[in-house]
Structure 1
Amino acid sequence: MNAPTYDTEGTAHLNTAGTGRMPDGVRAVLAACTARDDRFGSRALAEHLGAVLHTEVHERLGALLGVPAGDTVLATGAAEAFDAFVRAAELSPGDRIWTTPYEGVARLSTLYALRDRTRCRLEVVPLRADGDLDLDWMRAHLDGDVALVSVVHVSSACGTVSPVEQVGRLLAPHRARYAVDASHSVGQLPVDAARIGAQLVTADGWRFLRGPEAVGFAYAAHGVWSGRPPAPAPAAVAALNAALAHHAAAVRLPYEDLLPRLRAAVERTPGIEVLAPGREQAGMLAFRHGEVPAALIRRALARRGVVLWKTVAQENPLHPAARGGATAVRASVHRDNSAQDIDRFEQALRDVLREEREEREYTGGAAVAPGAALAAAGGDRFGGPPPYRGTPVRRGHLTLHRTT
């Protein structure tokens, strides 16, 4: 069997939410610093980058998040920063933790570990019928027992934007510590940590900021943690600093939001179901086909030079779309995309679905609905206690179950 071939010339990269393409200048900084590290060692590189590592990158992060530079912290990723924050939490069996159906698996793993360690209660804030967080439910159930609230600013599953500033105002008079995951919002939406009112705002550097992997950051209020999250490599920090400078220059330029164009292209395609809960989405659109599996769509598009992401239920196990183990395809757009990328994607998607339909007609094969195999294996049994025990998983897939 021949290996698939991928078109690397003029690729339409619609996966910035997964891994953003580094600008040439950022990639050059990373390459130069990596070469210097390889030749002289990380200590020598850190000395060479002293002002960048200790001052410049924090000034840029402070400007990005609207907070003092001294309140920003570097980490290997948003999940690691959140884990350090939670490890410092002192909760009792009578305390309650709130999370949402949009929470990702890495933070959920950390929250389940905290629940197991302290015997507190973990509750899931419900969604309204339109897919937005139910703020009225939060007002009705908020009391002195709520000790920690974790909210995702933009859902990695489908791009739903949560009202993090409204949640912050709601929590302000109460004891609850508030943590916001801005991994999929920073770099595409304004993120003002001071206005949000959270004690912790975390983000990754390799998504919409288009920096290197294995580097993230956080705004942390005073007294949030006693220790610090693991520090990223100096070369990664230098490249993040360059990405922040590139982003600050790019936001001053005119920009067309391509998400409406992307959605229109998907909705015009027969057989496609758009997964877009909530009244507002940003940068991402998830969809699936009633007969063609998401994995097949992603691979076939990649062979045509269109790069997307396949989502799986385990990445966002509390999300309503995760029931039945369903998979989906997620496309994301950013400033480095063009209208031509969307046109190329739409034509490629139509070609893929047409060829699959013709193949089924020729072979007489029966279609299998996406997620059916997982459901048959028990992947749709949501509502029981989580199987998680042990060290939190930072990335990858872990099956967790909704707990209230």
Structure 2
Amino acid sequence: MFARRIAVVGAGYVGLTTAACLAHLGHRVVCADIDAAKIERLQAGEIGILEPRLADLVTEGAAAGRLTFSVGAAAAVARRDGDPVEVLFLCVPTPMGEGGAADLAAVDTVAAEVRHLLPAGCVVVTKSTVPVGTADRTRALLRRRDIAVVSNPEFLREGTAVHDFLNPDRIVVGSDQQDAAERVAALYSRLGAPTVLTDAASAEMVKYAANAFLAIKLSYVNALAELCDVLGADVADVTEGMGHDRRIGAAYLSPGPGWGGSCLPKDTSALVQVAAAAGLDFPLVSAGIDTNARQRTIMVDKIRDAVGPLTGARIGMLGLTFKAGTDDLRDSPALAVADLLAAEGAELTAYDPGCPAAVPGLTDAVTVVDDPMRAAKDADALVVLTEWPAFRQLDWTALGGVVGRRVVVDTRNLLDPDILRRAGFSWIGVGRR
């Protein structure tokens, strides 16, 4: 494998993971971001992201001289010692914009900034999740016939991003220029993963198609859990029976308070907008989105049924992040449930291992504490909203001594009901007998 000189623009989850892992594979990488303070922290070895192995890979790359950091895209692509950038990865935010469509302002800004700085023959790679047609749009913005644009979508899960990068199910690379696509695919040759070489539009579509499918699967199992509650069936047994079917698989069959995070809500909405712009309806994805929104209300109904009127009720929340293993609060279903509870007058105290303190603008409806005992004190119910494994190890007998009422609403079906009952708690799950 030939080592390449790579610039990565964006030092968030995707960008920093991409930069650190490419450096780990032997490439020479400079990672840039417009946030000067973030770059200064990274240069000092401070990662600021809760992601297993990421800090180790950043330290490794920096010590080997294969990973450096700079402020701004222009600095990242500038020649150093006469050695030009060969590949530029765009890992910038593409948040949900007006009407649910992806906001490509950051992609456009970087393209305009580096247009005249890129050396001839450089390949620009869109790693961020972008709508179909973004490669063509970027090519038009660059106005450089000597620059190829390639789509190489990421499939990284927060909490396992490094593992996912280094152990991928597949590598997807799309471009209308075959040689450019092959150059990008070669960056990952050491990983030995199946590689899908296609056109840019198809590669861009793969990411939306995959995430929408997973979101629909989660919405389906949440609707199934509601039906199990009504009919007296046990969703754990139902999904176990389903998961053994190789056509279905066991992944993404765990009910909960709804899906969230930085990807699924944004990507499903964007896919609906892409379809609408093409003159097509996509009712299946729209129904998944609607089912997900309703799931938050169903969880509040469960809590209300358990404690009675919510006005003045003290609720101890276990979990705030959108999933375990991360400190990310973006589109967290736990926070969506908290907002609904607060709107009905509940008093909320929350503990989350990944969020030890309040985050202004996100956790305003909740008092955030750093100890589960404090969250449980005088609570009329404890509500599990994030599937942190550590919650299984809590001293439930001790918690029973400080709560107001021994009631647990487990929206993740995370806990062992027998352990809870031996500690004197009533346990209420989702779709469970």
Name the TM-score class by shorter chain.
0.3 to 0.5
Q: Which has the larger radius of gyration?
A: 2
Q: Which one has a larger percent helix, Structure 1 or Structure 2?
A: 2
Higher RCO, 1 or 2 (CA under 8 Å, sep at least 6)? 1
> TM (normalized to structure 1)?
0.35
> TM (normalized to structure 2)?
0.33
